[in-house]
Chain A
């Protein structure tokens, strides 16, 4: 209803907003956040199906996938009973598009797009983003980039097949992968995606700097806002470098240059340097929001202040700062000067310090708390556990002597899935936690717990054995592992992993069912169902356009749980208990 107050208040227009201005071209940060969520979930399903196909091929190489026979010949070969066999070039396209979609069209739109948009203004007590129109544009450019990326499945030659890292020369010449327009569209879609993220980043930073409510100092911001703020700075500075590299790659393919093609005097390694200069900060763009959200949830559901608030904020700043000087750890076997490799090894190892600070502070937050094992809390704990495993395997990857042996094996696949796919636990935690604020209803907790248990078990079932395969020498992007005799004894692990992955995928139906059922039929939510302190729970449910009925004044930090000043075990940031004493005294 109050959505009509889209700043037309001054003109006295109080017409009901049309469907289009409310749901499609909305300027309300909350609606834009929801739009990003639905697009991200759709892409999550597509990316997940691609992963299942990759897993099928690895467990039962070159055997027909049920129901895939409808795809025409050069892409899928027909098998019995309507099945289809995945040929090598399609396999390359599958893993390339799986990673591209999951990173740029699932984790970024949901963790940064959805929660950045939905939470930043609410959590800092602002009415909206600093630039609502730019915000809308950011979503729509992002949506177009998604359409461009998906359209590459339907062009002759199929989608990009040079890996998500797009290493030159593989990506720079159509003959090498047999993909002409698919790779062009991949480049164009990523450039558009970069523009969309850039507009979002400008908005987030300006909003956090300029639009905080009275009393909301930087060090009273929830760690979720801190993490999104730092993420936005990383996006702002890292993405343009990728855009520059992508432009050069596109010119190599379309304008006859040879920046990355040795036969024309080019330098393939230059692509790797430019890509990873962006690529490593990108990892933190993905993981920092998950860390911030986890910090908030652990504190709320332990009913305890976060352990070491300042250390948490500064460790995120340190991680972001260090992320600029570590990119060479992706290139240890590229023929880089060993001295330079050692320098990159050192800087990478240093990141373990702020990361460990975060993990220990999370444990310190849990210690002695009155823990409430709600569904969001379970998923937040799941994120901590995955991040711990992924962080520790990262130390192996960072050390040059070890990396030489496990580089581009399934060990790295295990490592980045524990970190990046592990983010999905924080993603689910956040969806379960903020669902009542976003959609005014509660999700079913029992179904949520079933979803968590299945996801946790089969996530680990799918990704933990990959460590063993990697140490055993199983290559990363191999089409048919059985062609190597030394991998054959480990093949049972591949089958085990695939079964785990298939069940993991099927378990997500519990989430989807719960999500869409709760959207329409869930129990009506209260204003503050989790008894949390941050400002978004002080806004009414549903929150109108403009969010708050009164401009909130902030009196304290976000983590005053179990404070002796109040009888309840939570104390919202905007409660003026001093004033109430004064009022009583008079």
Chain B
């Protein structure tokens, strides 16, 4: 390095040689070899933001829950603990299938990958269908967004999670379609990994919401 006592003149310093791929026009420069590739890092950021979004909603829930003398408030329908408990198990199982999908992608077993992605999506859809059925019943019994803050919180928190499950199903559908067309290989399965990250987040969030909204 520059330890010489003589001061240099900048103009004397030779310019570096032109980068060959840019002389004829090429892709943008990506000089660094990162520890975690862009896609996975980007999804981590997104999940961080999602976490803060749910933290906001959960914080609001706790403000009402902690200051309430009686919870759920009187004359409001009780939530279906048993059915939702079974539903929780269904959703938790889908975290395993998406995990197995990544395992299959890692060793290049496309058929298994496609099957496991299909299972995951099917379990997610089943979870959503049961939720929808329970919502219809609860509205029938008189729990609505305007029946009480309790109802409003229930539909906002559980609904926000439901929207994320729908988003996950769309994501899974895209990746399922890509996998069937042979988009992923042993070397390149980042798309499956990011799917697992997002789906695991959606699944892991559920027991927290179940515990707070249904059981607490």
Q: Give the interface size class of chain B.
A: 35 or more
Known: A125-B31, A205-B45. A546 touches B26 (CB 8 A): yes
Residue-wise interface mask of B (55-66) relative to A, using a CB-CB cutoff of 8 A (1 in contact, 0 not): 111011001100
Q: Which of A226-280 contact B (CB under 8 A)?
A: 236-241, 243-245, 247-248, 251, 255-259, 264-267, 270, 273-274, 277
Residues of A within 8 A of B155 (CB): 257
Determine whether the beta carbon of A270 is less than 8 Å from that of B32: no
Q: How far is the CB of A518 from chain B (nearest CB, A)?
A: 28
B69 within 8 A of A: no
Query: Quick check: B31 and A240 within 8 Å, CB to CB?
Result: no
Contacting pair B27 A236 (CB below 8 A):
no
In the complex, the chain B residue whose C-beta lies closest to that of A255 is B145
The answer, among A125, A210, A237, A555, for a CB contact under 8 Å with B49, is: A237
A7: nearest residue on chain B (CB-CB)? B27
Nearest Cβ on chain B to A323's Cβ, whole angstroms? 14
Enumerate chain B residues within 8 angstroms of A4, measured Cβ to Cβ.
25
A14 in the interface (beta carbon within 8 A): yes
CA distance A247 to B145 in the complex (A): 13
The minimal Cβ–Cβ distance linking A569 to chain B, given in whole angstroms, is 10
Q: Beyond A131-B38, A550-B16, is A267–B1 a contact (Cβ under 8 Å)?
A: no
Q: Which of A248, A274, A568 contacts B9 (CB 8 A)?
A: A568
Q: Does A198 contact B (CB under 8 A)?
A: yes
Interface membership of A179, Cβ < 8 A: no
Q: Is the CB of A551 within 8 A of B45?
A: no
**Contact residue among B52, B63, B145 (Cβ-Cβ distance under 8 Å from A270):** B63
Q: Are B32 and A580 in contact (CB under 8 A)?
A: no
Nearest B-chain residue to A531, judged by Cβ: B10
Known: A265-B149, A580-B14. A566 touches B9 (CB 8 A): yes
- In the complex, are the beta carbons of A257 and B152 less than 8 A apart? yes
Determine if B42 and A131 form an interchain contact, defined as CB atoms under 8 angstroms apart: yes
Q: Does A20 contact B (CB under 8 A)?
A: no
Does B30 lie at the interface of the complex (its beta carbon under 8 Å from any beta carbon of A)? yes
Return the chain A residue nearest B147 by Cβ: A256
| A567 and B8 contacting across the interface, CB-CB below 8 Å | yes
Known contacts A259-B149, A553-B16; is-contact A127 B30 (Cβ 8 Å) = yes
Q: Which residues of B lie under 8 Å from residue A267 when comparing CB positions?
A: 63-64
Closest-by-CB residue of A relative to B59 is A274
B31 engages A551 (CB within 8 Å): yes
From 527 to 572 in chain A, residues with beta carbon under 8 angstroms from any chain B beta carbon are 544-553, 555, 564-568, 570-572
Beta-carbon contact of A209 and B19 below 8 Å: no
Give Cα distance in the complex from A552 to B10, angstroms.
16
Q: Is B46 an interface residue (CB 8 A)?
A: yes
Chain A residues within an 8 Å CB radius of B12 = 580
Who on chain B is nearest to A545 by CB? B28
Name the residue on B nearest A576 (C-beta). B13
A143 to chain B, nearest CB (A): 21
B22 is an interface residue with CB less than 8 A from chain A: yes
- The answer to whether B178 has its CB under 8 Å from any CB of chain A is no
Interface check A339, CB cutoff 8 A: no
Q: Which residues of A contact B185 (CB under 8 A)?
A: none
Considering only CB atoms and an 8 Å cut-off, how many residues of chain A contact the other chain?
A: 80
- Give chain A residues whose Cβ lies under 8 Å from the Cβ of B60: 244-245, 248, 259, 270, 274
B7 at the interface (CB under 8 A from A): yes
- B residues 39-55 touching A (CB-CB < 8 Å): 41-42, 45-46, 48-55
* Measured CA separation A198–B153 after assembly (Å): 25
Shortest C-beta distance, A464 to chain B (Å), equals: 38
A127 touches B29 (CB 8 A): yes
Q: Which residues of A contact B1 (CB under 8 A)?
A: 555, 578
Residues of B within 8 A of A567 (CB): 7-10
Taking a contact as CB atoms under 8 Å apart, the answer to whether A549 and B18 are in contact is yes
Q: Which residue on A lies nearest to B153, using beta carbons?
A: A259
Contact of A549 among B22, B55, B57, B63 (CB under 8 A): B22
Q: Determine if A244 and B42 form an interchain contact, defined as CB atoms under 8 angstroms apart.
A: no
A127 touches B27 (CB 8 A): yes
Complex Cα spacing A238 to B55, Å: 11
A213: which B residues are within 8 A, CB to CB?
A: 29, 31-32
| CA distance in complex: A259, B49 (Å) | 23
Query: Which residue on chain B has the smallest CB distance to residue A126?
Result: B29
Whether the Cβ atoms of B55 and A211 lie closer than 8 Å is: no
B161 to chain A, nearest CB (A): 13
Q: Does B194 contact A (CB under 8 A)?
A: no
Contact of B34 among A209, A264, A583 (CB under 8 A): A209
Give complex CA distance A36, B55 in Å: 31
Q: Is the CB of B17 within 8 A of A550?
A: yes
B52 touching A240, Cβ below 8 Å: yes
Q: Would you call B49 and A5 a contact (CB within 8 A)? A: no
Least CB separation from A29: chain B residue: B28
Within the complex, what minimum Cβ distance (angstroms) separates B127 from chain A? Answer: 22
Query: If the complex has contacts A214-B32, A241-B52, are A257 and B156 also in contact, measured as CB distance less than 8 A?
Result: yes
Task: Indicate which residue in B10, B59, B148 contacts A575 across the interface (CB closer than 8 Å).
Answer: B10
CB pair A130 B38 closer than 8 Å: yes
Task: Tell me the smallest distance from the CB of A583 to a CB of chain B, in Å.
Answer: 6
Are the CB atoms of B26 and A9 closer together than 8 Å? Answer: yes
Complex Cα distance, B28 from A506, in Å, reads 43
Most buried by A among B41, B49, B55: B49
Question: Cβ of B215 < 8 Å from any Cβ of A?
Answer: no
- Most interface-central of A134, A213, A237, A238 (chain B CB within 10 A): A237
**Assembly CA distance A568 to B11 (angstroms):** 10
Alpha-carbon distance between A10 and B36 when the two chains are bound, in angstroms: 25
Residues of the A chain whose Cβ atoms lie less than 8 Å from the Cβ of B16 = 550, 552-553, 574, 576
| Chain A hits for B13, CB < 8 A | 575-577, 579-580
Structural contact, B149 and A266, CB atoms closer than 8 A: yes
- The 6 lowest CB-CB distance pairs between A and B, nearest first, are A127-B28, A127-B29, A244-B56, A256-B146, A257-B152, A5-B25
Question: A206-B42, A245-B56, A567-B7 provided; 5 other pairs, C-beta below 8 A?
Answer: A209-B34, A241-B56, A244-B56, A256-B146, A566-B8
**Interface residues, chain B, with chain A CB atoms under 8 Å away:** 1-2, 4, 7-10, 12-19, 21-22, 24-32, 34, 36-38, 41-42, 45-46, 48-57, 59-60, 63-64, 73, 144-146, 148-149, 151-153, 155-156, 160
Contact sample, A vs B, 25 pairs, CB 8 Å cutoff: A2-B22, A5-B26, A127-B27, A128-B29, A130-B42, A202-B49, A210-B34, A210-B37, A210-B38, A211-B34, A239-B49, A240-B49, A240-B55, A243-B56, A244-B57, A247-B160, A255-B146, A258-B146, A274-B59, A544-B22, A546-B22, A551-B19, A553-B16, A567-B10, A581-B8
